[in-house]
Amino acid sequence: MTFKDVIYGRRAVNFFDPDKPVPDALLTEMIEMAAQAPSGFNIQPWSLIVLKDKADKLRLQQHAWNQPKISEAPVTFIVLADMAGWKPGNPFLEKNFTEMVKSGAMSEDQREWFEGACQNLYGASEARTVAFACKNAAFFAMGLMLAAKSLGLDTHPMDGFDIDKVRAEFKIPENYWIPLLMSVGYFRSDKTLGPAKWRKSVDEITVRFD
Ligand SMILES: Cc1cc2nc3c(=O)[nH]c(=O)nc-3n(C[C@H](O)[C@H](O)[C@H](O)COP(=O)(O)O)c2cc1C
């Protein structure tokens, strides 16, 4: 499968074969591939809650417009975006800084500059903090969908859910935004996928305001 095949072949599929599980090794490979996504300062402020148990998926589905694919798919992710990922003391930020020092990308005495830059970029307002978390997690999520397609899997991203109820149901701490849910599995062979959706043209995408 070429990269073009992956790009044009990926679809949000509504129907998953509930009897065809995703092998753990494939799921791991998919997540490892997506983890190659770029992120600001390589902070990687993303996490996944991986639901495979039917009862768990139904707990999620009740807060997500009762979308049946959530429980029909063998796996559904709750994608998390850590709004505190840039803050000093965050264990991954600390690990990241250590790794940067180790690789020579930064020196130990640049820590103050690094922390100040993160504060200015990501901590200046609530909107900036949410944007930081969600833009990076969205790159990761796109990677999940493309990796899945390349591995013969199908996916469905969803933001049709009640964030407060999902947070309460799964005891998700306040520092995480929940940008989307994603079901993963195999398209059900007795269903037909609708035609590919329209896309904006290059002319419609490119703009200027000055
Ligand atoms: C962030 C995001 C949220 C979405 N939420 C839902 C959803 O809650 N329910 C749904 O049926 N489709 C949802 N979709 C799927 C889109 O409708 C779909 O991706 C779009 O129509 C383009 O179709 P395609 O992915 O098959 O190319 C969502 C897609 C994205 C990226």
Domains of the chain, first to last = 3-205 (3.40.109.10)
The reported pLDDT for the residue numbered 135 is: 98
Burial of 169 (0-12, 13-18, 19+ CB in 10 A): middle
The reported pLDDT for the residue numbered 39 is: 97
Ligand 1 close to Cβ of residue 68 (< 6 A): no
pLDDT digits (tens, 9 = 90+) for 65-102: 999 999 999 999 999 999 999 999 999 999 999 999 99
Residue nearest to atom 10 of ligand 1 (CA): 158
Test site for ligand 1: of 184, 197, 200, most ligand atoms within 8 A of the Cβ: 197
Ligand 1 centroid from CA 160, angstroms: 9
pLDDT digits (tens, 9 = 90+) for 2-20: 999 999 999 999 999 999 9
Ligand 1 centroid from CA 127, angstroms: 23
pLDDT digits (tens, 9 = 90+) for 93-134: 999 999 999 999 999 999 899 999 999 999 999 999 999 999
Which bin fits 203, alpha (ψ -120 to 50), beta or left (φ > 0)?
alpha
Distance between CA atoms of residues 179 and 81, nearest Å: 7
The reported pLDDT for the residue numbered 69 is: 98
The reported pLDDT for the residue numbered 82 is: 98
Average pLDDT over residues 35-50: 97
Q: Of 24-28, 35-39, 89-93, 136-140, which range is least confident?
A: 89-93
Q: Which atom of ligand 1 is nearest to the CA of 160?
A: 8
Q: Residues 38, 192: contact at Cβ < 8 Å?
A: no
Q: Which atom of ligand 1 is nearest to the CA of 158?
A: 5
The reported pLDDT for the residue numbered 38 is: 98
Ligand 1 close to Cβ of residue 80 (< 6 A): no
The reported pLDDT for the residue numbered 167 is: 98
